[in-house]
Each structure stands twice: as C-alpha cells, then as structure tokens.
Amino acid sequence: MRAQGGAFRARIPVSGDWIVPQIVILPLVAFDRHGHRLGYGGGFYDRTLELLRATGPVQAVGFAFAAQEADEIPVEETDQPLDLIITESGIVVPS
C-alpha cells in the first residue's frame, strides 16, 4: 500500500477501503457517572464522535483509573457522552 505524508508526519494511505468504526476508545482526564468526560481540551474526539454518530450507532468507551471519577463534570453543548467507562475497579454504565 502506498502512503503519503500528512499532518504531524502521519502516514496516510493514498487509496484503499475506509472503515467506519462502531467502537471508539477515548482518553480522558476525568469522568462522572452520567457518561460525561473531561478530555485534553481540543474537542477532537467530540467532533469525531458527532460525525460518526450521524452515520450510525457508535459506542464511545472511556478508559480511566477509578480515582479519575468526579461527582459532576461540566457539560457543553458540543460534548459527546460516553457509553461505557472501564476502570481497574470495574465497568461504569452511565445513568
């Protein structure tokens, strides 16, 4: 497969079949039991999830340490919720 250089020197395929993920794993700084998350401030995952969810169902899964759980995370209109949070203490299914 041929690839070309892209942003941040990432290799991007010139051609090929594209897939649309049904599960996206998201990094996070903090989360709450409602499925809200604090990310790293760029909004990249929220925008990507919004686009993916417009085409069909996509599960957003956050991986975190249990100590990263907060009582409440502030939410903005553009924030996309998590469907599942996995920690070393167990799985959190947002309410």
Residues annotated as catalytic are 37, 46, 79
Extract the tokens encoding 24: 């996206």
> Could you tell me if 11 and 5 are in contact, meaning their C-beta atoms sit under 8 angstroms apart?
yes
The CA distance from 24 to 52, in Å, is: 10
The CA distance from 35 to 82, in Å, is: 5
The CA distance from 92 to 48, in Å, is: 23
Residue 58 β-bridge partners: none
